[in-house]
Structure 1
Amino acid sequence: MNSNPDSSRKNEELSWLEQLQRNSWEPEVIISGIILAFLFAFPSRVYEFAAFLIQEAGVNSMLSWLILIYLTAIISVFKIFFVVHLALRFMWAGLLGLSYAFPKGVIQERLFKTGQGYDYQQPDSMVLRLERICSSTFAFPVSLSIIFLIITLYLGILVAVYLWLDFTFIQIYLFFMITLLVFALLMMTKKKTKFKSWYFTSIVSSISAIYQSNIGKWYSIGYILLIFILAAPIIVTDVRDFTLFFNERNMLSHEVEWPAKNLYFESDHNAGKRFPRAFLANEAVEGQHLRLGIARYEGDQKMMEIIKRDFSSSLDSLGWHELNQTADLHRIYMNDSLISVNGWAKFRLAGAGQRVYQSLLDVSFLAPGRYQIRVEKLMLRDPLFGSDTDLRVLENWSVFEFIKL
């Protein structure tokens, strides 16, 4: 008595699933379009988030840079995935229209003789073949998205622990690499453990196994590698100039020779972006004074206390001014002439909410022309594997030019 209702319900479920499969192109196109619109707007937010971690949270520059590259790589890879999917759907729509307009396909007698006698593909078969390719291309990122989500949550926990327990970058990096090594060893062992049984029956492993067994394991791996290679130029573009946020190093030669105006002048700057180092209101300066801004870094406060406690004699030998706030870690030069700074004011910039120091410098004595501003900064070298901390002066912490009118 109960077999018929169960059989009927099963048939209804199969019919419903088949109907969804036949019409899958509609949600595929809609979802791909929405995700792409989001992904193309998101990289700048990731960039600002990584800069925020350094300046406001005091996260190590290298750790923030690795987080930026990781998140940018995810976004770029998914950009490629969904662009490829939409491109394939565009081709599929064209073939679908072709199959409707010319359902019989090729009429051999109407071709030039050189084109006759060949076994041309039928429009219907091409549509069905491309339909399967489109559907599989859309489903492929699903397994990767789950993997990326798990890794991202794990990295978020590590960063939280890093800030809470005040770990060093080396400590958190070694811990992360050890966990990856342990996971790799667990997966490589031939013994069927509970962990392996759980992992291989998960949705991530199941999707991957479906692709490998139906498409080919080497083809699947090659496809992923190809996507990452195509995404590489996008990643490089999206992380450009982020090394300027590396507070503990001098500017590189190409950064000094070819400076980006938007990183040094408010007039060329996007209000929602952060300044990495020193900056001015405008490249062209009029009047008697110049308003100079300095980006504040949270990690400088702890470092300044260590310098005052352990390196007072070094400060005297350098002829450095008294350290009352982190802005005093900087020394300003104009064309290699030391400029006196009469105090620093604290401000929070609109848009990005960045905390900065600002001061007015007297430029009344300057004749019209082009001048260079160079900012030196006191910095402690981070100890690695037990080495001693030492004091150093970054002579080219920030270098750029302005025009006196």
Structure 2
Amino acid sequence: MGFATDTEGRTSHIVNMADSLGIPAVVGLKRVTRQASPGDLIIIDGNDGYVHINPPPEVVRSYRKKKRAQEDLRKELVKLKDKAPVTRCGTNIDLCVNIESSGEASSVQEYGASGIGLFRTEFMYINRKTLPEEEEVYSEIKEVAEMAHPKPVVVRTIDLGADKMAEQLNMKPEMNSFMGMRGIRLSLAYPGLFKTHLRAILRASVKGNLVLMYPMITGIKELRSANHILREVKEDLDASGIEYDKNLKVGVMVETPAAVIEIERLARDADFLSIGTNDLIQYSLAVDRISDGVSHLYNPSDLAILGMLRMVIEAGRKFSRPVSMCGEMASDEFYTELLIGMGLRSFSMSGVGLPAIKQVVINADIEKCRLLAEEVLAADDNAEVIEILRDNRRQKRQF
């Protein structure tokens, strides 16, 4: 089973879903649905981004051999489940999973994760005509908290735009939802919706392992406005005698250039920072990540992006705030040692991708990672960055 689509980009929701299911996906092929017919033999190569329709026997044999080798490697990596994600020199690196529902919460135990680094709560709100009741949201989040306990669960508040919630909120659909009413903007514009959502999260926090995170924060004003509403909800719960975690940590997703520029202000007020690389790269490089026409310009190792990552990590260090990363970059072993060398100590990804990252971590040396980061950040252009990272991977394969 796999996905092959004419449209979408490599960081779109369908790719995230394929990632979490552990199945291949190739997107943005433009004409694959017109070229394929029912009954065709199709090979989907999610690693290299190719789809073969009715390939010759020698290609089929080659891919069957690759698949067996991949399955053998996966079996070896699964053995790392109970091994701590600690570098060769003894530095612990948190490796967490991203989930979308309580049905995926078991991946914490299945892959030996440090916790749930991103719980996307918005999927309780889509593909329905009415908003979910508070009790429904509470029950779902509570189940996730209980399944992961005592490990932490980072609950992200609703990260949807008007394109997904226009009907429920009686809104006009927007031409470009990525630049419109989405994330924390939507929550602040609809305080009733936001308060109900926060009540559900707070009520589910009684076990003490939930952590709250706001998406798409662009500045300190939004963070303080969101926290003001959070305080109002806490006061309502206190007045009603309803229990919740009084020490609930509150953090922000850093996924816009504006948030990076204001990162020190945000770090003073927030309890932690989480870098959402998918959107940060999209907004910073002016690349629509679901547009097949420009998605090739989407480059995590662009020196501008790496400079932003360094700013966030350094702000976290300066104000003693934990910094994590979720998004495609966190699950790509090509960048793991570089990110560790830049000071990142927490990664969140799909469960199926975690064992491969853990293998990189347990073989990593902090000092060598630091030197790698120094070399990369001193590079003259993006091509040199890629060459340095490729050379680093080639050296690793020789041992």
Alignment TM class, shorter chain as reference: under 0.3
Greater fraction helix: 1
Structure of larger gyration radius: 1
TM superposition score normalised by structure 1: 0.24
